[in-house]
Structures are given as structure tokens and as C-alpha cells.
Amino acid sequence: MIEVLWILLATFIVSLISFIGAATLVLSENMLKKILLAQIGFAAGAMIGGGFLHLLPEAIASGTASLEDVFLMVIVGFVIFFILEKLLWRHCHERACPIHTFAYLNLIGDGVHNFIDGLIMAASFVVSVPLGLTATIAIAAHEIPQELGDFGVLVYGGLSSRKALFLNFVTALTAVAGGILGYYLFPHHEIAMMFLLPFAAGGFLYIAASDLVPELHKEASTTRTLVAFFAFIIGIALMWALKML
């Protein structure tokens, strides 16, 4: 029973990292607009790095599925996010929504990702508390750059800063749900991860390649484009560096 308390505490604390975007609230609206393109570049790099360097290797290392099955689930995730965006785009085209569809997709993808983090933390705490704490620290380290990028995507997509923070926190709470479910699923959580990890990777790759990178191409200023490009590279490099920890 003590494991459940550790899981709840750890997943909730990790969920609070979603508020890291609040640091940008001290910036003026003009300054925020100037850095948004760089945040989009960073988010795109973090999503691609997270998908290829974290989610897919974890799915493969779990050993519960063949390489073909893993990559098939990546395709399934990619296709489903494409369909979701098409449905959201049609709805917004008819209703003239002020929010870009990729903002909604980012919330969905982040929710799935956080749910998986909850599963991982739950499995770790069931084995031992020290292992659970180690997993929590590692996941928290990965979440900081991820949440900064997610916040930038939501604001760039048309959400107000405060609404973006709130919705980011709501999706972060799926880690708590994943933790609770993971506790009762253990040791069968690996079956769920076999599908969810590559599915989330496919979703992140779709958002980065189909929505965020094209946004970077729209910028006419060479200087701002270079800044966004370097932010993109930094996003990938940071995910690689965290993988080495």
C-alpha cells in the first residue's frame, strides 16, 4: 500500500513541472512574441529527439514486441494524429476557431506521453522505492525542456498564457492516472507500453514534421529563422544529452 502513496506523490510532483512555463509570464507581450518562434523551433527539436531517442528505444528495449510491431505502431500514431488534425481543421474551418489545430494535437500527444511516464514510475516504485525515486528524477529532468516547448506551442497556437498553463497542467495530471493504473497493471504494464510508447512517438513526429517545422518556414526574417533553427538543434541535442544521463 505504501507504494501507492509514493506513486501518487511522485506523479503529482512531476505534473507540477508543467507550470514551468509561468516563468515567461514576467515577459512583456512584445518580448514573448519575439521568443515564440524560437520556442517553436525548440519544441520541434525536443519532440523529434524525444520520439527517436527516448520513446522508440524504450519501446524496443522492453522486448515485448518485434521491431516491425513497434514501427507499425509509430505509423498508426502518425496516421491517427493526421486524422485527428483533419477532423479538428474541418471543425475549425466551419466555426472559424481562433486556436490552431496543432495546439489541440499537442495536448493529446502530451497527455499520452505523461500517462506513459506515470506507468513507468509506477512500475519502478513497485520494484523498490529507491528505483522509483531514481525514475522520478530522470523523468522530471526530461519533462522540464519538454514542458517549456509545449507551453510555447500552445501560446503560439493561439491560447492565452494562463489558459496554456492550465491546460498543460491538466494534461500533465494524466501521469497520476498512469501511475494508478500502472500499479494495478504491474507486471503487465509492459504490454500497454508496447503500444503507447511508439504511438506517442508517432504523434510527436507528426506534430513536429507536419505542423511545427512548416511554421518555421513561414518566417521571412533570416535572423529569426537562424535563431529558430539553432533552437531546433538545441532541442534535439538536449534530448540526446538527457539520454546519456
To 5 degrees, how large is the angle CA 189–CA 113–CA 106? 155
Residues in contact with 219: Cβ distance below 8 Å, sequence separation at least 6, in sequence order: 37, 225, 228
In a domain, 26, yes or no: no
Tell me the pLDDT tens digit for each residue of 174-201: 999 999 988 887 666 666 667 778 888 8
CB 180 within 8 A of CB 122: yes
The predicted pLDDT at position 209 comes to 92
What is the rounded distance in angstroms from the CA atom of residue 186 to the CA atom of residue 203?
25
In a domain, 29, yes or no: no
What is the rounded distance in angstroms from the CA atom of residue 151 to the CA atom of residue 168?
7
Provide the domain count of the chain. Answer: 1
For residue 197, the enclosing domain spans 2-13+37-244
In a domain, 19, yes or no: no
Instruction: Calculate mean pLDDT across residues 33-56.
Output: 86
In a domain, 25, yes or no: no
Residue 56's φ and ψ, nearest 5 degrees, are: -65, -45
The predicted pLDDT at position 227 comes to 92
Position 138 pLDDT exceeds 80: no
pTM: 0.78
Tell me, what DSSP letter sits at residue 99?
S
Tell me the pLDDT tens digit for each residue of 13-30: 999 988 887 776 666 666
The predicted pLDDT at position 25 comes to 67
Instruction: Calculate mean pLDDT across residues 39-43.
Output: 89
| Of 48 and 127, more confident | 48
Position 37 pLDDT exceeds 80: yes
Q: Which of 192, 176, 165, 183 is nearest to 20 (CA)?
A: 165
In a domain, 27, yes or no: no
What is the rounded distance in angstroms from the CA atom of residue 167 to the CA atom of residue 178?
18
In a domain, 20, yes or no: no
In a domain, 22, yes or no: no
